[in-house]
Amino acid sequence: MTAWPLKLPAHEAVLAAILVLALALLAVLSDRFFTLDNLLNQGLLMTEVGLIAMPMTFVIITGGIDLSVGSALGMCAILLGYSWHNWGFPLPLAIGFALAAGAAGGFVNGWVITRLGVPPLIMTIATLALYRGLAEGISQAHSVRNYPPWFAALGQGTLFGVPAQLWVLVVAIVLFGVVLARTTFGRALRAIGHSETAARFSGLPVDRIKLAVYTASGFMAGLAAWIFVSRVGTTRSDMGMGVELDVIAAVVLGGTSIFGGTGTIVGTVLGLALIQLLKDGLSLTGVKGDATIVVIGTVLILSILVSNFAERRRESGRMPPAPAPRPTTEKGRNEP
């Protein structure tokens, strides 16, 4: 039985150190920051982004991108609310309908990318506009409210003193982490990201794998929509606006290469936590929104530069010594 590796890769180790330093600094600057209630509240606020960041890690490892997840969240939220309030669906069926719609939206992305050869960037920009347009067209700028009390349990309730939706995020982190680190599917994702052509020649079902990860991305956007609506108690077409940027920032900050082939769920969780805690801590210390964006961008750049430097040092240390020159004869010719 193989033991779980205890040593973090270079980037994750650097990010963990930055996170600890940021926690210590922000705790000194604000006595309200490092409290259990505040930390649990921040975990609650980052759940929707965290759920979508799990499959986004898989997507980016394969060398792809999904810019439509924020719009998919908004579309699923509208479909949940309107199928219940306007179309007469029972609320449990409306929830299932929203989850299925999210998965279908991700499937459409994956099918067009794999079958028609449209680049992921172009396809998901198109569906970013399409899904947001569907949400706005269905809602006509109207919101849905007055959900039954039981519906709020997932977004506002607690389990053992911890927000219920945070348990959902923990389960997702464990599930996606095990799949990426401990299964042949996870190894296939990295192989595709390193070289899709080589992966095809190796017999890997590249198209099916990519279709699966884009479908998972859409499904998790639907799950995030359910939790989001449950938490705020209303449905609006602008839900999820800009979420794709937060998701991609967390994944890239966590060390997943935008070129594919490299990434971990541990790194994504660290990046997610660092971004959310910086937002909260800087807000508590009186830093304005624009300045917070500058600080987070600076941390992103510095963490990538430091980890790249550490990786180059480590790779240079692994390089074998240059072979010694062969002795020559008096005439300057190499001896056999």
Domain residues of the chain, as ranges?
30-309
Q: Give pTM, 2 decimals.
A: 0.86
Name the helix (H) or strand (E) containing 11: helix 10-29
Rounded-to-integer distance, Cα 24 and Cα 33, Å: 10
Burial 71-104 (b: 16+ CB within 10 A, else e): bbbbbbbbbbbbbbbeeebebeebbbbbbebbbe
Which token pair is 296?
């987070």
248 alpha-carbon distance from chain centroid: 6
Rounded-to-integer distance, Cα 31 and Cα 286, Å: 13
Q: What is the pLDDT along the chain (336 residues), one digit of tens a residue?
A: 444 444 566 678 878 888 888 888 888 887 888 888 888 888 888 999 999 999 999 999 999 999 999 999 999 999 999 999 989 899 999 999 999 999 999 999 999 999 999 999 999 999 999 999 999 999 888 888 889 999 999 988 888 888 999 999 999 999 999 999 999 999 999 999 999 999 999 999 999 999 999 999 999 999 999 999 999 999 988 898 889 988 998 998 888 888 888 889 999 999 999 888 888 887 777 776 667 778 777 777 776 676 667 667 666 665 555 555 555 555 545 554
Which token pair is 224?
């995030």
The amino acid at residue 143 is: S
E-strand ranges in 160-238 read: 162-163
Rounded-to-integer distance, Cα 154 and Cα 15, Å: 31
Instruction: Report the helix count and the strand count for the chain, using DSSP H and E.
Output: 14, 2
Which token pair is 136?
């706005």
Pairing of strands 162-163, 158-159: antiparallel
The amino acid at residue 280 is: D
What's the pLDDT score for residue 6? 47
Burial 191-226 (b: 16+ CB within 10 A, else e): bbbbebeebeeeebebeebbbbbbbbbbbbbbbbbb
The label of the residue with tokens 């029972």 reads: 90
What's the pLDDT score for residue 5? 46
Rounded-to-integer distance, Cα 263 and Cα 11, Å: 10
The amino acid at residue 37 is: D
Rounded-to-integer distance, Cα 243 and Cα 225, Å: 11
Reply yes or no on domain 30-309 having CATH 1.20.120. no
Burial 45-62 (b: 16+ CB within 10 A, else e): bbbbbbbbbbbbbbbbbb
